[in-house]
Each structure stands twice: as C-alpha cells, then as structure tokens.
Structure 1
Amino acid sequence: MASFHHCIKSGKKGTAANHAAYIARQGKYGQREDLISTGHGNMPAWASDNPALFWKAGDKHERANGAVYREHEIALPAELTHEQRKELVDDLIPAMVGDKPYQYAVHAPRSALEGKTNAHLHVMFSDRMHDGIERSPEQMFSRYNAKHPERGGCRKDSGGKNRLALRDEVIQTRKTCAELQNAALEKAGQTARVDHRTLKEQGIDRTPERHLGPVRIQAMSEDEKASVVEARRDHLHRRAM
C-alpha cells in the first residue's frame, strides 16, 4: 500500500547532536533494532570521518534560536525490495539536499497497527552552503559576511528568502520526492503510485487520517485495528481506480 509521507522539520541549537545519534541509533538509542543503513556526505574536512563533530559544532556555535539542521522524513514504498529502496534512497538524497552537509539513516520498524515493516528515510542536513572557503567549526556557523565571505560563516540557503518563496520550494521538493518514488515503482513493475498533493487538491472528499501513534494503537482492540487497516486499503483502492 504505497502512500505518501514526507515531513520537513528543523532543529534548533542544542538539539542536532542528539538527533543525529537518534537516527544513527547510537549511544542511548543503540538498543533499537530497526536500523537498515546510515551514512553521511558533503561534510567539511574537520568532520569528514565523523559527522557527530559537525552537529556538535553547530549546537555550540550557531546563533541563539537558529536552526542547526533541517530534516526530511520520507516513507519508502513497501512495494519495493531492499535493493530497490536503496536505489531510491541514493536518488532521493541528492535531490533533497544538493551539496549541503548531511547525515542519513533508513529505519524499518515493525508497524504496531499492521505488523509489517514501515521503512522510512531520515535525512538531516545543514542549510549552510559550501563556497570553497575552508573554515573552522566556529567560523562556519557564524554570521555570513556578504562583502568579505572569508571573514564570516557559510551562507544559509534560506537566507533572504520570503515566506512565499520558501513555501514554493517546499511544494516543489515534495513534488520531486513523489516523482522519484513513482519512477522507482514504475521501474520495479509496480502499479502503485504516490501523490504529494493534499486530499482537497486531489479532489478527494475525506478527512485526513489522524496520526495514531504507538500508545493509541496499543490501546485499540484487534477489531478497531482491522477497521483502520480496511479503511486505508479501501481508500488506496478507490484512488487507484
């Protein structure tokens, strides 16, 4: 049952290193057994072998109330095999973050509702853009100097953009995400497709499903769980017609 889930988040100063450990299942999160793969890229030289150094530097040197990282959380189609999902991840990461510093992880926890694996991708990245200038950890996260870039920090991609421009970027990013998933599904010979648009934009007169969460699901009876699953399947069947 391919369905589109693409959540874009941001993390403020002081939260990046812990979140990186969470997605990589390190430290206190190491007991979780749902990690499929993890990696990083586009890091500065001083963090090329250890992305934790990058996030710790951001937590320490980013301005107060500034976002140290942004993140894409993307559901991966269940119809794809492990290798097909890996190919899709390899396509999604550069499309989502470009050449910005990033760390990613693929998790596949078992669904509390259906008992199936729920594979999804986490890509956390810095909005600080490379410009070819070598900077120390402290300088990298300092304020950008337009007249003398070598004296300031790396410029943020979102800097100077108004709310409308940022909204349009989010819409385009979600569209690209859906297109890459559908291309992967088509390549795999699957008929299922995902759609990044809202239900209203798709012409579907239905209230969006509320996220249940593991605690609420655990409190449900087997009949209630079956009812929710059946409703989801019916919706996906009608959408495919």
Structure 2
Amino acid sequence: MASYHLSIKSGKRGKATEHAAYIAREGKHGRAAKREDLIATEHGNLPDWADGNPALFWNMADEHERKNGAAYRELELALPAELRPEQHIALLQEFVEAELPGKPYQLAIHEPIAALGEVKQPHAHIMFSDRKPDGIERTPSQHFKRYNPTNPELGGCKKDSGGREPGVLKNELVSRRESWANLQNQFLEANGHAARVDHRSNKDRGIEAPPERHLGPVGIKKMSPEERSEYQGKRRSA
C-alpha cells in the first residue's frame, strides 16, 4: 500500500563516508543480512576529481568541509509498494533531476521486510551535497572551501543553502514534500494503480484520527498473537 514519508536531515563533517557506506551496504554494513535488502544504488553530478567515485567524494567532504559545516544532506523517502523496482528507479531519477539539479548525489533503494506482517517496505536514501559544481576546475581541498563571490576561482563551490533565511528553507521543504507526492501519484496513475499519497498532515486534511503509533521491532516482539492480528487488521482497514 502506498504511504507517504519524506524527511530531510544533515550530516556533519566526519559522518559522510560512513553513512554512504551504510546506505550502499558496503564495508561493515555489507553483511549478507543487510545486503539482502539493497535493491539499487546510483550516483551522479560528481566533480571531475571524484572520477565517478562517490566514496571518494564523501571522503574528501569529511576531510575538507569547513568545521561544523554540513558534509551532506539526506532525503529519506517511502516508495510506493505498488511500483516495480525499475519504476522506483525512474521515479527517483525524475525527482532528483527536478529537485536537486546539478548537485552531487548518491542514492540507494532498500526493501526490508516489516517486522509485523511480512510486508515489504521499499524506501530510498538520497545523500547530496549543497555544493553544486559550477564548471570551475578545483582540487578536492579547494572544492570545500568558503565560496569567494568576488573571485569564484579562488574559493570553493558555493553552497546554495548558505545565507538563506530559515523561512525560505522551510517553504522550500514544504514545496519539495508536495512535489514528491505529486510525482508519486503521476507514476501510480501512469502504471495503472488506484492508490494515491498525500503529503498533508491528518489535521490539514480534516482527518481527526491520531497519528499511528510506531511500535518498532522490540514492541512487536512483545505482542501476543491476538494483539498482532488486531493490529494488522487495523492497518489493512486504514
């Protein structure tokens, strides 16, 4: 069943390389149990010096990004279970092109099995940099320096999030949430599915139902068979 989720977070300098390995299920995150839920990985818009290697890009971000600066941002997105993996990839490619044009990114699609109900839960992680390449050739260390508006060739790539008011960034997030819902619905309709998603909260939609309680694996294990059956029934009828 299609359900809506979009969240965004930032990762500080020193965290990017490890997180990229996590979403790509590499290194210590590449154990068989974890790799089984990895459906696809992809990257794009990397600067020339990264030579098509996202791990190198994130490693250099960790090493050279300004102290206390965000080395990456990440979008976490629920994917419609009705769509096939290749449709998920096409959906994400179109979203990245529209919402993150030209920005270095790495994405991964995971499809774990829910702890309750043996239901697949496809979702995506999109790591991206706010430093959009501008055609000026730079070394890795210069790429992550402070932008020089007077002489751009002497500074780093400009961060498009820098200097903007919190209200502007909030409005951008609201717009991005709506765009993600609209694009999913376009793909669902184009592929013959009746399901639709809505980015608005229950309150904004005039629905009085409280938000669903997240049980987590520990909470689910504590449930009796009767409680599990009742909970599954409520989810199916929601």
- TM bucket normalised to smaller: over 0.9
Q: 1:5-44 counterparts in 2 under 5 A?
A: 5-31=5-31, 32=34, 33-44=36-47
Instruction: Give the aligned residue type for 1:13.
Output: R
Structure 1 counterpart of 2:213, from 200, 210, 214: 210
Extract unaligned runs of 5+ from structure 1: 236-241
Which residue in 1 is equivalent to 2:80?
77
Matched with 1:233 is: 236
TM-score, with structure 1 as normaliser: 0.93
SS in 1 for 2:237: helix
**In structure 1, distance between residues paired with 2:128 and 2:87:** 23
Q: Which residues of 2 match residues 160-171 of structure 1 at below 5 A? A: 160-171=163-174
Runs of 5+ consecutive residues of structure 2 not aligned to the other structure: none
* Alpha carbons 2:39, 2:85 under 8 Å: kept: no
Please state how far the C-alpha of 1:222 moved relative to its aligned partner: 2.8
What is the match of residue 174 of structure 1? 177
CA distance in 2, matches of 1:147, 1:133: 14
Counterpart residue number, 2:66: 63
Q: Name 2:55's counterpart in structure 1.
A: 52
Structure 1 contact 41–48 (Cα < 8 Å) conserved: no
Q: Aligned residue for 2:103?
A: 100
Aligned pairs (5 A) from 1:154-165: 154-165=157-168
Which shifted more, 163-172 or 81-90?
81-90
TM (normalized to structure 2)? 0.94
The sequence identity of aligned pairs, in percent, is 55
Shift in Å at residue 220 of structure 1?
2.4
User: How far, CA to CA, are the matches of 1:116 and 1:186 in structure 2?
Assistant: 22
CA apart distance, 1:189: 1.0
The root-mean-square deviation of aligned C-alpha atoms, in Å, is 1.3
Structure 2 counterpart of 1:231, one-letter code: K
1:63, distance to aligned residue in structure 2 (A): 1.3
**Structure 1 residue matching 2:9: 3-state secondary structure:** strand
Alpha-carbon spacing, 1:161–1:113, altered in 2? closer, same or farther (3 Å)? same
In structure 1, give the amino acid aligned to 2:102.
D
Distance apart, 1:132 and its partner CA: 0.9
Deviations along 1:152-186, one digit per CA (max 9) or x if unpaired, are 11111111110110000000001110011000110
Distance (Å, rounded) in 2 between the aligned partners of 1:215 and 1:135: 49
